[in-house]
Amino acid sequence: MKQSEIKELSTAELQEKLSETKKSYSDLKLAHAISPLENPIQLRSVRRTVARIATELTKRDLQ
């Protein structure tokens, strides 16, 4: 998910998306611990998406 897409979402949508993405990340980590993922770069991209969403939420709270 790109930063421009994140900025277009409302705060409620961002919070929902954050919880979904965190769940997805934990599922991927668990699957990778059991057997190696076909594309381990997925872990990095999902982790960075979580960070982008969290950063946008923090930015909105400070304004």
Note the pLDDT tens digit of each residue in 17-40: 999 999 999 999 999 999 999 999
Structural domain for 13, as ranges: 3-62
Number of domains, the chain = 1
What tokens appear for 61 in the block? 């709270």
Residue 1: per-residue pLDDT:
84
Residues in Cβ contact with 50 at an 8 Å cutoff, skipping those fewer than 6 apart: 18, 21, 22, 25
> What pLDDT sits at residue 41?
95
Whether 43 shows a pLDDT value over 90: the answer reads yes
Q: Mean pLDDT in the chain?
A: 95
Are 53 and 18 in contact, with CB atoms under 8 Å apart? yes
Query: What is the value of pTM for the model shown?
Result: 0.91
